[in-house]
Chain A
Amino acid sequence: MMERNKMGMILFLLSEAVFFLLLILAYAFYHTSGELGTQAANALDVVKSALFSVALLSSSITLWQADVCLKSGGRSQARLLLAATILLGLIFLIGQGTEYAHLLREHVTISRNLFGTTFFTLTGFHGLHVAVGLALLLILLGLAVIGTSREPTSLAMEAISFYWHFVDGVWVVIFAVVYLWGYV
């Protein structure tokens, strides 16, 4: 039987998946029923977002490697990779921040129209999840720096990695639906 912390995390992510699915469906619903698509295509800078997305996706790889290193005893390497993961996640959040700032300057707000409503709610909740993930990763890094030689436990690493990979996976779907759909 699977270890209980990992099992708990997976169940939590299942629950989160339903939550995001419905936010994404709400976006898709208004996309098909109105003018959302063209608005998305006009307002969003797909190339820039794609670059920031690459940062987020590579952070999954660095975290995976950090986990591998930790298991094989390479603590200092694991520390570096964890720090890199956090940096990449931070870059993504900064990217999202600049995107929001740009949209707000163009008066695209959550109350402007249904594009704003669905876009900000969906990407906002995703961003919130990234921020929570960063907090968790910071704790891991803190433990790796000042903790005992057995900290962070590889269990904690794995459970938090599950979360982080999930948040990345959700982003892939959001990117496809929000940023690319406008063009098809």
Chain B
Amino acid sequence: MSEESPANRAITSLADMKEYRGMLSWITSVDHKQIGILYIVSAFVFFLVGLGLALAMRIQLMVPVSHFMSPGAYNQIFTMHGTTMVFLMAMPLLFGFSVYFVPLMIGARDMAFPRLNALGYWLYLFGALMMYFSFVAGGAPDAGWFSYAPLTEKGYSSSPGIDYWALSLLVMGAGSVATGINLIVTVLTLRAPGMTLTRTPLFIWMIFFNAFLVILSLPALNAALVMILADRQLNAHFFSPAHGGSALLWQNYFWLFGHPEVYILVLPAFGVISEVIPVFSRKVIYGYGFLAASTIAIAFLSYGVWIHHMFATGMSYVILYVFAGSSMLIAIPTGIKIFNWIATMWGGSIRFTTAMLFATAFQIQFTVGGLSGVAFAAIPIDWQLTDSYFVVAHIHYVLLGGTLFAMFAGTYYWFPKVTGRLLSEKIGKLHFWLMVLGFNGTFFGMHWLGIAGMPRRAYTYLDRPPLGTLHLISSLFAFVLALAILVFLWNVARSLLKGEVAGDNPWGGWTLEWATTSPPPVENFDRVPSVRGRRPLWDLAHKTEGGQP
């Protein structure tokens, strides 16, 4: 845009922002962009920690009957890995992107409740630190990321790990609900003039419904957490079968939260993909309405499928059939999305930038993860494969090959907006290919490991072919994956130091965040462009009368 005020012109990197100088400005900030950056950076630090834990597991499993670590240590490590990746990495990463970009994309100056926004971040950070404090306070939690009862009862787990786990998730859960509320109210009340709900970018739709999932499913976890804390701290008996309590109640409550949670982790990724693909295909997104509406379907259905995590607990066939059916049903709206993205790419003039490469790999890998997920909805298959490495393959195809790849697409796409500097495309492509190789090499073989009978959460295994070979391959590729992350760090560092100046709109994007400078000034816009269609910047460039729908 040409009519920017000259004062802003001088700002081409975060270091030029005088409002962002000094520690104090970051600690006291209520600016949604600073809080967004804090979220993203913290999440990335915890990603590195989670990756370190994963590598430790892969070293342990590299050869049969290994003595690299004790069974007890292994239990703590896989629990902390899963918990870290889900609650300390993925959720805050998604919140970071949400609070950074939602106000920008709807043409607002900030979130609806800026101070609540800061509260959400700090609750997350201190909750996360409390989780890791458990290592020095007598032992980390060791009952898996879903902490099944009665393993979590005092009698079976005497270290304070589970108490830290529950307390810290409770603290972070409160922060998540606060942020969810904030996002909903922001979208509903702060949209720029002319931006009706049906003109908001799809990213906004996804975040909007996602926020509903957050505020309606985290309380289920919180309720279960206060119950487990009552059991452990006050000798209550909710989940203790010895006193008539029910271990299955925990499972029901946890998964009533847990299944919506997996959609919480993936809907924002869908949003990112729905922004990246049209821009780099130079085409309008195909089936905007379908993409938005199928999100509603997913959000609703995600509350009606939780039993598929409990098929092996001996429930009546009627219940099993109902939930197998609903679980297969949810594949339909998800499939619709994938077809829409493919249709958008179809016949477009595609530019395979690093962002677009990640978005493309997302579609393929997420589909693989989705297919193994639908396979689990078939009850006999679930009975055969549950608690095996097939599950480990499935979750990583969805969460790593899916969500994380999408977030890397988003990172390459928006990094220039956030920092003012482009990431190197050359290093980016190296990062991408190493990551595809490392990811698929680590996890594809795990399908086979699971079919061959390798149980998950086992600290070692006997030398029975093909287990040894498959584990060795997986472990070696895990290091390729780690290398890819190092390459990414190098790319970020290089670009912050001497990256190419990005300019306002390096990719020719159409949504409002590209209408302001990079990085955006404190209150985002000098003048919010009037919105007359779904692609305000396109309308502006072409001066169409009346705009598009």
Binding site for B on A (CB under 8 A): 1-2, 4, 7-8, 11-12, 14-16, 18-19, 22-23, 26, 29-30, 33-34, 110-111, 113-114, 116-118, 120-121, 125
- List residues of chain B with CB within 8 A of the CB of A120: 236
**Dominant SS among interface residues on chain B:** helix
The listed residue (A8, A12, A18, A121) touching B236 by CB distance below 8 A is: A121
**B220 contacts A113, CB within 8 Å?**
no
B236-261 CB mask vs A (1 if < 8 Å, else 0) is: 11100001111001000100100000
The listed residue (B177, B220, B222, B230) touching A12 by CB distance below 8 A is: B177
Most B CB atoms within 10 A — which of A12, A22, A125? A22
- List residues of chain A with CB within 8 A of the CB of B217: 18
**B185 contacts A4, CB within 8 Å?**
yes
CA distance A1 to B226 in the complex (A): 36
**B216 contacts A111, CB within 8 Å?**
no
A84 to chain B, nearest CB (A): 31
Most A CB atoms within 10 A — which of B223, B224, B226? B223
Q: A26-B227, A114-B245 are in contact. Are A7 and B215 (CB under 8 A)?
A: no
CA distance A113 to B237 in the complex (A): 7
Residue B169, interface by CB 8 Å: no
**B112 contacts A114, CB within 8 Å?**
no
**Pairs A-B, 4 closest by C-beta atoms:** A111-B235, A22-B223, A19-B219, A117-B236
**B244 contacts A114, CB within 8 Å?**
yes
B199-233 CB mask vs A (1 if < 8 Å, else 0) is: 00000000000000001111110111011001000
The listed residue (B181, B224, B234, B238) touching A15 by CB distance below 8 A is: B181
Closest to A116 in B: B236
Q: A4-B189, A22-B219 are in contact. Are A110 and B235 (CB under 8 A)?
A: yes
**A111 contacts B236, CB within 8 Å?**
yes
Residue B113, interface by CB 8 Å: yes
The listed residue (A4, A7, A11, A114) touching B243 by CB distance below 8 A is: A114
**A15 contacts B177, CB within 8 Å?**
yes
B229 to chain A, nearest CB (A): 10
- List residues of chain B with CB within 8 A of the CB of A16: 219
B176-200 CB mask vs A (1 if < 8 Å, else 0) is: 0100111011001100000000000
Q: A8-B181, A11-B185, A22-B224 are in contact. Are A117 and B112 (CB under 8 A)?
A: no
The listed residue (A2, A29, A121) touching B249 by CB distance below 8 A is: A29
- List residues of chain B with CB within 8 A of the CB of A22: 219-220, 223-224, 253, 256
Most A CB atoms within 10 A — which of B112, B181, B188? B181
25 A–B pairs (Cβ distance < 8 Å), ordered by A:
A1-B188, A1-B189, A2-B189, A4-B113, A4-B185, A8-B116, A8-B182, A14-B215, A15-B180, A16-B219, A18-B217, A18-B220, A18-B223, A22-B223, A29-B246, A29-B249, A33-B246, A110-B230, A113-B237, A113-B243, A114-B243, A114-B244, A117-B230, A121-B227, A121-B230
B235 to chain A, nearest CB (A): 4
Q: A19-B219, A110-B235, A114-B243 are in contact. Are A8 and B224 (CB under 8 A)?
A: no
- List residues of chain A with CB within 8 A of the CB of B216: 14-15, 18
CA distance A12 to B253 in the complex (A): 20
- List residues of chain B with CB within 8 A of the CB of A110: 230, 234-236
- List residues of chain B with CB within 8 A of the CB of A2: 188-189
A137 to chain B, nearest CB (A): 21
**A11 contacts B237, CB within 8 Å?**
no
CA distance A100 to B260 in the complex (A): 37
- List residues of chain A with CB within 8 A of the CB of B236: 110-111, 116-117, 120-121
A136 to chain B, nearest CB (A): 16
B260-271 CB mask vs A (1 if < 8 Å, else 0) is: 000000000000
**A11 contacts B181, CB within 8 Å?**
yes
- List residues of chain A with CB within 8 A of the CB of B234: 110-111
- List residues of chain A with CB within 8 A of the CB of B223: 18-19, 22-23, 26
**Dominant SS among interface residues on chain A:** helix
- List residues of chain A with CB within 8 A of the CB of B215: 11-12, 14-15
- List residues of chain B with CB within 8 A of the CB of A12: 177, 181, 215
CA distance A125 to B230 in the complex (A): 12
- List residues of chain A with CB within 8 A of the CB of B244: 30, 34, 113-114
B312 to chain A, nearest CB (A): 21
Closest to B178 in A: A12
- List residues of chain B with CB within 8 A of the CB of A4: 112-113, 185, 189
CA distance A7 to B185 in the complex (A): 7
- List residues of chain A with CB within 8 A of the CB of B181: 8, 11-12, 15
**B177 contacts A114, CB within 8 Å?**
no
Closest to A121 in B: B230
- List residues of chain B with CB within 8 A of the CB of A121: 226-227, 230, 236, 238
**A26 contacts B189, CB within 8 Å?**
no
The listed residue (B113, B182, B237) touching A114 by CB distance below 8 A is: B237
The listed residue (A8, A30, A34) touching B112 by CB distance below 8 A is: A8
**B189 contacts A117, CB within 8 Å?**
no
Most B CB atoms within 10 A — which of A4, A11, A114? A11
- List residues of chain A with CB within 8 A of the CB of B112: 4, 8
**A117 contacts B238, CB within 8 Å?**
yes
5 new A-B pairs (CB below 8 Å) besides A15-B219, A18-B219? A26-B238, A111-B234, A114-B237, A114-B244, A121-B236
CA distance A26 to B217 in the complex (A): 16
Closest to B218 in A: A15
- List residues of chain A with CB within 8 A of the CB of B237: 111, 113-114, 117
CA distance A113 to B64 in the complex (A): 46
CA distance A22 to B228 in the complex (A): 13
- List residues of chain B with CB within 8 A of the CB of A33: 246
CA distance A121 to B224 in the complex (A): 11
CA distance A11 to B176 in the complex (A): 13
CA distance A60 to B112 in the complex (A): 29
- List residues of chain A with CB within 8 A of the CB of B218: 15
CA distance A121 to B243 in the complex (A): 16
A74 to chain B, nearest CB (A): 31
- List residues of chain B with CB within 8 A of the CB of A111: 234-237
Closest to B237 in A: A117
- List residues of chain A with CB within 8 A of the CB of B249: 26, 29
The listed residue (B185, B226, B230, B256) touching A8 by CB distance below 8 A is: B185
Closest to A117 in B: B236
- List residues of chain A with CB within 8 A of the CB of B230: 110, 117, 121
- List residues of chain A with CB within 8 A of the CB of B243: 113-114
Q: Which B383-398 residues sit within 8 Å CB-CB of chain A?
A: none
CA distance A120 to B116 in the complex (A): 31
B210 to chain A, nearest CB (A): 14
B135 to chain A, nearest CB (A): 29
